[in-house]
Amino acid sequence: MSERTIPYKLYLEENEIPKQWYNVRADMKIKPAPLLNPGTLQPLKAEELAPIFCDELIKQELDDDTAYVDIPEEIREYYKTFRPSPVMRAYNLEKALGTPAKIYYKFEGNNTSGSHKLNSALAQAYYAKKQGLKGVTTETGAGQWGTALSMASAYFGLDCKVFMVKVSYEQKPFRREVMRTYGASVTPSPSMETEVGRKILEAHPGTTGSLGCAISEAVEVATKNDGYRYVLGSVLNQVLLHQSIIGLEAKAALDKYNITPDIIIGCAGGGSNLGGLIAPFMGEKLRGEKDYRIIAVEPASCPSFTRGKFAYDFCDTGMICPLAKMYTLGSGFIPSPNHAGGLRFHGMSTILSQLYHDGYMEATSVEQTAVFEAAEKFARTEGILPAPESSHAIRAAMDEALKCKETGEEKTILFGLTGTGYFDMVAYEKFHNGEMNDYIPTDEDLAVGFAGIPRFEGNEF
């Protein structure tokens, strides 16, 4: 064992943290479709987005051409406290599976937000502060994004108001206290604090909430209060830009040891982790320099890639946000309350949607008991207790590694371990007690969501 040339952790040093983010859109021949104004159905201009988003972030959102964007020194300073994050070789998991495959994972969970979300939260809080704003509003599902934004807001001295999907708020009471430790206020959504919240509660009194609904509330509060803007932890182009640091670091670490992955796997909710992880690899693929198999993994109970429509749709339930062209289950789609694995968003990043549509990546869906089985196996072999979200990628990576066991192929697999599951023990408890089941929406269930996708010329699906 001692003559191994590849260590457990592939090291990068502080001065090797990327100094620029990479914008994959610059290398896409077919760019993601622009956001549309839901009233005029025309592409949104920067000035229309200005009441919602920070100015610099709007620039990043709309910029399809600049390949590399400098990471401001102030953001890099904080990055240095928890980055570079390690690329780990899963020697113990490989051994337990008896696979000839070589499994690597980029582990983003070693910061208090428990996930990769902090990468973009810091960027968004920084630009808000730089613009002289008082505060930011946002939504959070599992709570990782809300925690990340709370941390970033505390660091840059911003007020932070979080709308938390009610089911998560109830299942994860301790997340609220973490956010409060960082000075944020947390409201379960839907709430009576907003017009859109009151409307939704009236129509669906017992609702457990959804990300789409929490987004609507956060946007309303941002636009109705001076000095506030809305920030979003996933889906948007700007978020994928910031998250490219995951892939850039992963690639730098692998390159250092002359490792080239055959398969790259990431879980996909709104797409922030997957988009970040694959960015530089996808860039090479788009430029025709190299080929990789790239796989998005989503829950069978919220299958936007594998069963959704590629169409313009609202990002929020209240239908006040711009229209985005993406794989979507309809903004009214709410996963079954049995669903415990995160990745609950009804849509998907427009960048990833376009790339998937154009055949640059695959998608697969997995059922949640199989996901928790993989999570437990991973915890017992690799030590790390994974987030349910991340465990979707673990499941797919294990399945690929087991295929290698059958064929004898020594493939190199890289997957994104987005975070830790310390705040997901209610879900783990369900799993331990045998109370977890695999609810998969029927075609009829999905039809209800699809019916809410707006119909207009050019939006056939």
Q: By C-beta, is 244 or 420 nearer to its own copies? A: 420
The DSSP code for 418 is -
Q: By C-beta, is 16 or 409 nearer to its own copies? A: 16
Q: By C-beta, is 361 or 371 nearer to its own copies? A: 371
Pairing of strands 87-89, 9-10: antiparallel
Give me the least distance between CB of 177 and its own copies, in Å please: 4
DSSP codes, 220-286: HHHHHSTTEEE--SSSSHHHHHHHHHHHHHHHHHHHHTT---SEEEEE-SSSHHHHHHHHHHHHHHH
Residue type, 306: T
Q: Which SS3 state, helix, strand or coil, does residue 88 take? A: strand
The DSSP code for 71 is P
Give me the least distance between CB of 91 and its own copies, in Å please: 8
Phi, then psi, of 414 in degrees rounded to 5:
-120, 125
Q: E-assigned strands of 278-411?
A: 293-299, 309-314, 323-328, 362-366
Q: By C-beta, is 178 or 232 nearer to its own copies? A: 178
Q: By C-beta, is 17 or 323 nearer to its own copies? A: 17
Q: By C-beta, is 8 or 456 nearer to its own copies? A: 8
Q: By C-beta, is 26 or 426 nearer to its own copies? A: 426
Give me the least distance between CB of 124 and its own copies, in Å please: 16
Give me the least distance between CB of 205 and its own copies, in Å please: 28
Q: E-assigned strands of 268-361?
A: 293-299, 309-314, 323-328
Q: By C-beta, is 168 or 317 nearer to its own copies? A: 168
Give me the least distance between CB of 274 and its own copies, in Å please: 24
Q: E-assigned strands of 42-158?
A: 68-70, 87-89, 102-107, 135-140
End-to-end CA distance of the chain: 55
Give me the least distance between CB of 408 and its own copies, in Å please: 25
Q: Closest Cα to residue 53, out of 298, 235, 313?
A: 235
Cα dihedral sign for 443, 446, 447, 448? positive
CA atoms of 23 and 65, how far apart (whole Å): 8
Q: By C-beta, is 85 or 350 nearer to its own copies? A: 85
CA atoms of 66 and 169, how far apart (whole Å): 39
Give me the least distance between CB of 392 and its own copies, in Å please: 17
Give me the least distance between CB of 144 and its own copies, in Å please: 12
Helix axes 272-286, 350-357, angle to 10 degrees: 50
- The binding site for its own copies (CB under 8 A) comprises 1-2, 7-9, 11, 13-15, 73, 77-78, 80-82, 88, 91-92, 110-112, 114, 151, 154-155, 173-174, 177-178, 180-183, 375-376, 379-385, 420, 422-423, 425-426, 428-429, 432
Give me the least distance between CB of 162 and its own copies, in Å please: 15
